[in-house]
Amino acid sequence: EQFAAFRQILRTTIISIPVSIVIGSLVAFFLWLLSLAIHFRFDHKWLLFLLPLAGLIIHFIYRTVGKSSEKGNNLIIEQIALEGGEIPPLMGPVILVTTVITHLFGGSAGREGTAVQIGGSIAALFGRWFKLKGSDLKIVLIAGIAAGFGAVFGTPVTGAIFAMEVLAIGKIQYNALIPGLIAALVGDLTVSAWHITHVQYHIDAIPAAPYFLSDYLPIDFLLLAKVFISSTAFGLASLLFSEMAHKIKALGLKLFKHQWMLPILGGLIIIGLTLLLGKPDYLSLGVDAEYPGAVTIPSAFHTGGAQAWSWFWKTLYTTITLATGFKGGEVTPLFYIGATLGNTLATVLNAPVSLFAALGFIAVFAGATKTPLACTFMGVELFGGEHVLLFTVACFTAYFFSGNSGIYTAHRTAIPKK
Amino acid sequence: EQFAAFRQILRTTIISIPVSIVIGSLVAFFLWLLSLAIHFRFDHKWLLFLLPLAGLIIHFIYRTVGKSSEKGNNLIIEQIALEGGEIPPLMGPVILVTTVITHLFGGSAGREGTAVQIGGSIAALFGRWFKLKGSDLKIVLIAGIAAGFGAVFGTPVTGAIFAMEVLAIGKIQYNALIPGLIAALVGDLTVSAWHITHVQYHIDAIPAAPYFLSDYLPIDFLLLAKVFISSTAFGLASLLFSEMAHKIKALGLKLFKHQWMLPILGGLIIIGLTLLLGKPDYLSLGVDAEYPGAVTIPSAFHTGGAQAWSWFWKTLYTTITLATGFKGGEVTPLFYIGATLGNTLATVLNAPVSLFAALGFIAVFAGATKTPLACTFMGVELFGGEHVLLFTVACFTAYFFSGNSGIYTAHRTAIPKK
């Protein structure tokens, strides 16, 4: 029995390595193309006005070649739960192209959905070639997600844990962890080998603030209390995001008989909001700055790098963009929402800005995707291990206050009933 | 429903705070007493010759006042699984006293069993006072384990994750994580408030070793391969430990009609081994050095700080000590076995000594207790986040090669069948 388990891990790991090299290469190509598209729009600002048209094109791409892959991440989560491989091979190219279109014209979206779907569809393709079934197929699909996620953010451990945790809260598939970890590592290394780099974040040193208990307790209780309060807010922000995403989508489906009108309206609202606010900060990915002084994820790590309501605007932009049919993912916008909200809360609570931006970055993501363990690891991989206690507090508190439904609706159904 | 869950977490967290202060204080007292006992033996080496007598005393303490608590950690794991509180209040004092006796006379044992049993019995006591039932009781018991573990090693996040993970592989009780984390933090802070400190470990910087792929890949594949090979060995070492612990115990029960003869024989074997080896390095905890140049856990982090078979002798000493009825725990000896084996393997494989000592430290523990996630976090909490990828690789690989049964036999039964 032990040997059968050993052979399975060995077999799935060996299969996962070429799978992950392919996934990593596609993710590298995607990241390169995405960066081109984002910077092309920076130089051609009029592209935003074509956003409704871009939405229409995306709509028809999914109506024709992409039909069966419209359920995106949820389809992959479902297929893994069913130990099935019914993931269309076209899912990868279709999500890649439509995500780049979304960003080229200024839609506010992320990229993890794209990476996960590239990972899932490539893994399913290999699964068919190798005639994998049952738990073998399941493990290779999980490895595919891990490779995609690990590659797109440069965080292999997080990729492996995320792939496990996103399937069902509270159940960790330990037998998939070794293949998943190796897949995520290979995916990440493949991206590096193509010389694609990730943004580096940094938490500034926190000056010691001695108080009356300092001689007894090696912790700043006031800081811990601030982290708790903020994490509650991070959880509620992720609840707001999930609710808005679901509600706007439901409303759109109810109001419009002709579904193709939805992306047009979505595009028009994004244009209107941008004209109203008079600045393009909340468009697209939010990592690179369109102009000096723009609010971005990196800027949120510095005092004055976000405005009081930046987090809300990004929530509005992103939920409208995605609910009206544009493509990409939610995670990078969630990082943006969390980091800017952390920035705002740090100012309000007189707390260290870069630390709170980092906590928001991981905690809003934890709440919205229901993956608090993966997000704690992401904190360690991106920001170092010094604040692992605060990362854990933030992710689990935010997870707890994030409500019952996350952004992945398929996730919920996999939770075992109590 | 969401509010009921919220109220439960709030309720159990509030109850867990005084529980954890009591647990933390008892753990602090235990650590202080343990240190006294260990150093007293350093100064009175003849105490070792009374080890058989000490074993006899421990045997009769358990035969009289400690009867129902002899199952130790397994009893607590069982009671949590059953949502029951049938943990005798005397368990805490009895394990504390018998652990200190074990160490005073040189028995090779740890301390996490003591901390977990103090935590579990105090939590059960409060549970009765507050008339807790069902999942409330379960969460407070988990919090008690978390507080005990977090307090004894100074690692709150690890304490919380360990308490969750030790109950059943692959199932994380997310609703217990917030109370558990707060309990572990309060337990740890209470120990600090009593001015009890923990040994600090440090991984030396690893010199960059450029090779032909360095321009493409930001990782040293050779190092990674060495980590894999070593982690397989760490897993097998934990398998050997678990098997020897179970087999020696079974053999003892079979050979001796009079159970009180077992600790006498165990004590005599330990004395014999020590006379044979001519040095006391493998007695007791293995953290403080009895003489300059002794092999200890801290010494294993330096080149030449362990001998080739140190890990094996410690395995033999500890399994004999614990299987013949002495008390304490397995974790610190597992750290010792891992760190010294890591030291030996680093020498054989020409790898960085302090890194491999650290990997062994967490990985042998992960394999023997079947808690790879908690051990990965322990790596981050004790050694920093820089090597989190290698920690994950080491803990999961070792876990995988550690066989089906760990040191906690109750753990196994809780694993859901596939």
Please tell me the predicted confidence (pLDDT) of residue B87. 87
Q: What is the mean pLDDT of chain B?
A: 90
Percent helix, strand, coil in chain A, to 5, is: 70, 0, 30
Both tokens assigned to A108: 């506010």
The answer to whether B12 touches B232, Cβ cutoff 8 Å, is no
H-assigned helices in B324-403: 331-349, 353-369, 372-383, 388-400
Least-confidence region, from A3-7, A90-94, A280-284, B244-248: A3-7
Please tell me the predicted confidence (pLDDT) of residue B164. 86
User: Hey, how many other C-beta atoms are within 10 angstroms of the C-beta on B261?
Assistant: 17
> Which whole number is the average pLDDT over B301-326?
95
- In the predicted structure, residue A90 carries a pLDDT above the cut 90: no
> Which whole number is the average pLDDT over B157-172?
82
Counting beta carbons within 10 angstroms of the beta carbon of residue A2, is it exposed (0 to 12), middle (13 to 18) or buried (19 or more)?
exposed
Counting beta carbons within 10 angstroms of the beta carbon of residue B149, is it exposed (0 to 12), middle (13 to 18) or buried (19 or more)?
buried
> Which whole number is the average pLDDT over B316-335?
94
Both tokens assigned to A382: 């991106």
At residue A161's C-alpha, the angle toward residues A157 and A164, to 5°, is: 150
Nearest CA in chain B to A135: B418
Q: Measured between alpha carbons, how far is residue A410 from residues A75, A134, B62, B105, B233 in Å?
A: 8, 19, 52, 58, 40
The answer to whether the CB atoms of B403 and A2 lie below 8 A apart is yes
d(Cα A315, Cα A335) in Å, to the nearest integer? 11
d(Cα B242, Cα B368) in Å, to the nearest integer? 6
The answer to whether the CB atoms of B404 and A156 lie below 8 A apart is no
Which of B177, B189, B404 lies nearest to residue A219, judging by beta carbons?
B189
The 10 Å CB-count burial string (b at 16+, else e) for A364-385 is: bbbbbbbbbbbbbbbbbbbbbb
Please tell me the predicted confidence (pLDDT) of residue A415. 42
β-strand partners of A109: none
Question: CB-based contacts of B121: which residues, under 8 Å, 6+ apart?
Answer: B69, B87, B88, B89, B90, B91, B92, B144
- In the predicted structure, residue A86 carries a pLDDT above the cut 90: no
Nearest chain A Cα distance for residue B411, angstroms: 15
The answer to whether the CB atoms of B385 and A389 lie below 8 A apart is no
Both tokens assigned to A70: 């419209």
For A348-382, the pLDDT digits (tens) are: 999 999 999 999 999 999 999 989 999 999 999 99
- In the predicted structure, residue B394 carries a pLDDT above the cut 70: yes
Least-confidence region, from A81-85, A174-178, B23-27, B327-331: A81-85
Q: Measured between alpha carbons, how far is residue B198 from residues A44, B109, B382 in Å?
A: 59, 18, 10
Least-confidence region, from A207-211, A269-273, A276-280, B33-37: A207-211
Closest among B386, B207, B199 to B296, alpha carbons compared: B199
Both tokens assigned to B320: 């004999």
The torsion defined by the Cα of A251, A252, A257 and A259, in degrees rounded to 10, comes to -160
d(Cα A301, Cα A174) in Å, to the nearest integer? 35
Interface with chain A: mutation pick from B400, B402, B405, highest number of A CBs within 10 Å: B400
d(Cα A34, Cα B206) in Å, to the nearest integer? 35
Share of chain B above pLDDT 90, in %: 67
Q: Measured between alpha carbons, how far is residue B246 from residues A94, A119, A255, B167 in Å?
A: 56, 44, 67, 19
Please tell me the predicted confidence (pLDDT) of residue B416. 39
Least-confidence region, from A12-16, A298-302, B75-79, B398-402: B75-79
User: Hey, how many other C-beta atoms are within 10 angstroms of the C-beta on B277?
Assistant: 14
Please tell me the predicted confidence (pLDDT) of residue B258. 85
Task: Name residue, tokens 């092309």.
Answer: A40
β-strand partners of B171: A171
Which of B170, B381, B386 lies nearest to residue A388, judging by beta carbons?
B381
- In the predicted structure, residue B412 carries a pLDDT above the cut 70: no
Please tell me the predicted confidence (pLDDT) of residue B255. 87
Nearest CA in chain A to B175: A400
Interface residues of A toward B, Cβ cutoff 8 Å, are 1-2, 6, 9, 156-157, 160, 169-174, 177-178, 181, 185, 189, 192-193, 195, 216-219, 372-373, 377, 380-381, 384-386, 388-389, 392-393, 396-397, 399-400, 403-404
Which of A1, A173, A388 lies nearest to residue B157, judging by beta carbons?
A388
Long-range contacts of A8-12 (CB under 8 A, 24+ apart): A8/A135, A8/A136, A8/A139, A8/A175, A9/A139, A9/A175, A9/A178, A9/A179, A9/B400, A11/A136, A12/A136, A12/A139, A12/A140, A12/A143, A12/A176, A12/A179
Please tell me the predicted confidence (pLDDT) of residue B169. 65
Return the H-helix or E-strand segment holding A317: helix A310-323
The answer to whether the CB atoms of A385 and B384 lie below 8 A apart is yes
Nearest chain A Cα distance for residue B111, angstroms: 23
DSSP structural state of residue B337: H
The answer to whether the CB atoms of A185 and B396 lie below 8 A apart is no
Nearest chain A Cα distance for residue B194, angstroms: 7
> Which whole number is the average pLDDT over A234-263?
91
User: Hey, how many other C-beta atoms are within 10 angstroms of the C-beta on B6?
Assistant: 12
- In the predicted structure, residue B74 carries a pLDDT above the cut 90: no
Both tokens assigned to A336: 């943006």
Share of chain B above pLDDT 70, in %: 95
For B263-295, the pLDDT digits (tens) are: 999 999 999 999 999 999 999 999 999 999 999
DSSP states along A339-398: HHHHHHHHHHHT--HHHHHHHHHHHHHHHHHT-HHHHHHHHHHHH-STTHHHHHHHHHHH
Helix B221-255 to helix B261-277 angle (10° resolution) is: 140
Please tell me the predicted confidence (pLDDT) of residue B259. 86
d(Cα A266, Cα B301) in Å, to the nearest integer? 59
DSSP states along B120-152: HHHHHHHHHHTT--HHHHHHHHHHHHHHHHHHH
> Which whole number is the average pLDDT over A54-76?
87
Both tokens assigned to B241: 């430990």
Please tell me the predicted confidence (pLDDT) of residue B287. 94
Residues found in chain B:
418
Residue A403 pLDDT level (bands cut at 50, 70, 90) = confident
Counting beta carbons within 10 angstroms of the beta carbon of residue A70, is it exposed (0 to 12), middle (13 to 18) or buried (19 or more)?
middle
DSSP structural state of residue B69: G
CA A110, distance to chain mean position in Å, is: 6
Question: CB-based contacts of A73: which residues, under 8 Å, 6+ apart?
Answer: A113, A116, A117, A329, A408, A410
- In the predicted structure, residue A211 carries a pLDDT above the cut 80: no
d(Cα B50, Cα B48) in Å, to the nearest integer? 5
Nearest CA in chain B to A418: B135
β-strand partners of A171: B171
Both tokens assigned to A353: 């800005």
> Which whole number is the average pLDDT over B47-72?
89
Interface with chain A: mutation pick from B188, B389, B396, B401, highest number of A CBs within 10 Å: B389
Counting beta carbons within 10 angstroms of the beta carbon of residue B137, is it exposed (0 to 12), middle (13 to 18) or buried (19 or more)?
buried
All residues of chain A having their beta carbon less than 8 Å from the beta carbon of residue B193 are: 216-217
Nearest chain B Cα distance for residue A314, angstroms: 27
All residues of chain A having their beta carbon less than 8 Å from the beta carbon of residue B170 are: 171-174
Which of B157, B384, B392 lies nearest to residue A389, judging by beta carbons?
B157
Please tell me the predicted confidence (pLDDT) of residue A299. 96
d(Cα B129, Cα A245) in Å, to the nearest integer? 46
Please tell me the predicted confidence (pLDDT) of residue B170. 63
Domains in chain A, ordered, with CATH? 2-193 (1.10.3080.10), 221-413 (1.10.3080.10)
For A101-147, the pLDDT digits (tens) are: 999 999 999 998 899 999 999 999 999 999 888 888 989 999 999 99
Please tell me the predicted confidence (pLDDT) of residue B1. 61
Please tell me the predicted confidence (pLDDT) of residue B52. 96
Which of A2, A381, A393 lies nearest to residue B181, judging by beta carbons?
A393
Number of H-type helices and E-type strands within chain B? 16, 0
Which of B219, B388, B397 lies nearest to residue A381, judging by beta carbons?
B388
Q: Is the ipTM of this complex over 0.85?
A: yes
- In the predicted structure, residue B206 carries a pLDDT above the cut 50: yes
DSSP structural state of residue A84: -
Q: What is the mean pLDDT of chain A?
A: 90
The answer to whether the CB atoms of A381 and B373 lie below 8 A apart is no
Interface with chain B: mutation pick from A139, A174, A213, highest number of B CBs within 10 Å: A174
Residue A158, SS3? helix
The answer to whether A62 touches A70, Cβ cutoff 8 Å, is yes
